A = this chain, B = another copy of it.
Amino acid sequence: MYLTDEKVAVMGAAGAIGSNLAQTLLSSGTASRVAMYDPFAPGLEGAAEEVYHCGFPNADVTWTTDVAEALEGASYVISSGGAPRKEGMTREDLRRDNAEIAKQLGLDIKHYCPNCKFVIIIFNPADITGLTTLVHSGLEPGRVTTLAALDSTRLQTRLAQHFDILQSKVTGCRTYGGHGEQMAVFIGGIQIDGTPLTDILDGETVNGVGMSADEWTGVQEHVRGGGARIIDLRGRSSFQSPAQQSVFMLRGVLVGESYDWPCGAYLNAEGFNNIMMAMPVALSASGVSWSMPEGTEDDINALRESYAHLTALRDQTIDDGILPPLSDWRDSNVHLG
C-alpha cells in the first residue's frame, strides 16, 4: 500500500513545506511511517492533527519537539527546517543562519541516525545547507542531496505558457549549478513538442509561435525570479512544489523510479571540487550519483560561473566557522577525502 514502511523523519514539520510533505508522503502512497519534528510545539501538533484527521489507512504518524526522538531509527530524513525567505530577500541572505541549522542537523544525523539511507535538504540556500549537512553528518556523499528541480520546472512552465502547449510536451528543461540567481539555465536538450528550442531560436515555430533571442533571455530571467514571483503572488514562499518534488525524489530512491530532474550532488571531480550543486543525477537505492550535463558552450560556461559563485559562498561559510577548512573535512566526514 505504501512504497516503504521505514521511518521518514520530516524536519520542520510545523511549517508550510513540512506539513505539506507529511501529507503528501501519505497521500501519494510513498511512506506510511512519518515522524514530524519541529521546535514549535503548537504548530507542530496542529499540523500532526491535520494529518491524523485525513484518516490515512495504516499510517503511523508521530510528532515530537525532541530531535533525538525524531531521528532515531529514521531511514530517510527530509528537512525544510530552516528560516524561510521573506519578501525582498535573496536565498543567500539566509545563508549564515540556515548553514548553522544545517550544521546542527548534520551533527544530529551523525549522532542519532548514522545509518540513514538518504537525506534531502530543502531549505535555502540549499547548495550550502546541503553541503554543510553532508560534511557534518559523516554520511557518504551519495546519501545527501538537495532539492534542485524547481528552477527546471519553472523553466518548463514558462516555455509551455509561451508556446501555449501542455507542460509535459516541453521536455529537457534543466538548470544546473547553484539554486540561486547564478543558476545555469541550459538551452541544450530543450524540445518544444519535439522541436529543439535551438532550432526555434533559429526561426522554427511550434503552434505558429516562435521565440527570439530576447524572448529566451526573458524566459531565463523569469526563471531566475521564479521563487520571488511566488512570494509576490501568494504572500509567502513556495511550499507545495518543494514538498511535492521532495516526495518524487524519495520515490526515485525507493523504487528506482526514473526521477527526471536535477538534484544537488556532492562534486569532487571534473574541475568541480568540494561543492554541492545541481547536476544530472540518477536516484536509486544506493542514493544519488551524478554525471556531467550536455549543453552548448554557453551552457557549460554558465555552469562554471555558477560553480565559482558557489565556491565563494562555501568559502564564506568556512570563514564563518560553520564549515571546517577544506583540509579538515575528512575529520568531520571520512568519506570526503
Q: Footprint of B on A, CB under 8 Å?
A: 19-20, 23-24, 27-29, 42-43, 45-47, 49-61, 149-150, 152-154, 156-157, 160, 166-168, 226, 229-230, 232-235, 238-241, 244-245, 247-248, 261
Residue pair B157, A53 in contact (C-beta under 8 Å): yes
Distance, CA A239 to CA B23, complexed state (A): 11
CB within 8 Å for A153 and B52 given contacts A24-B27, A166-B60, A168-B58:
yes
CB neighbours of A56 from chain B (8 A): 244
Q: Give the oligomeric copy count.
A: 2
Listed from nearest, the 6 A-B pairs whose CB atoms lie closest are A46-B233, A46-B234, A53-B241, A52-B157, A54-B244, A55-B153
Nearest chain-B residue to A47 (Cβ)?
Answer: B234
- Provide 23 A-B residue pairs closer than 8 Å at the C-beta atoms, listed in order of the A residue: A23-B24, A24-B24, A27-B27, A27-B28, A27-B244, A42-B234, A43-B235, A46-B229, A46-B233, A49-B154, A51-B241, A52-B153, A53-B154, A53-B238, A53-B245, A54-B240, A55-B152, A55-B153, A55-B167, A55-B248, A58-B168, A59-B167, A60-B166
Nearest chain-B residue to A61 (Cβ)?
Answer: B167
**Highest count of chain B CB atoms <10 Å: which of A55, A60, A232:** A55
CB neighbours of A167 from chain B (8 A): 52, 55, 59, 61
Residue pair B233, A42 in contact (C-beta under 8 Å): yes
Give the Cβ gap from A28 to chain B, nearest Cβ, in Å.
Answer: 5
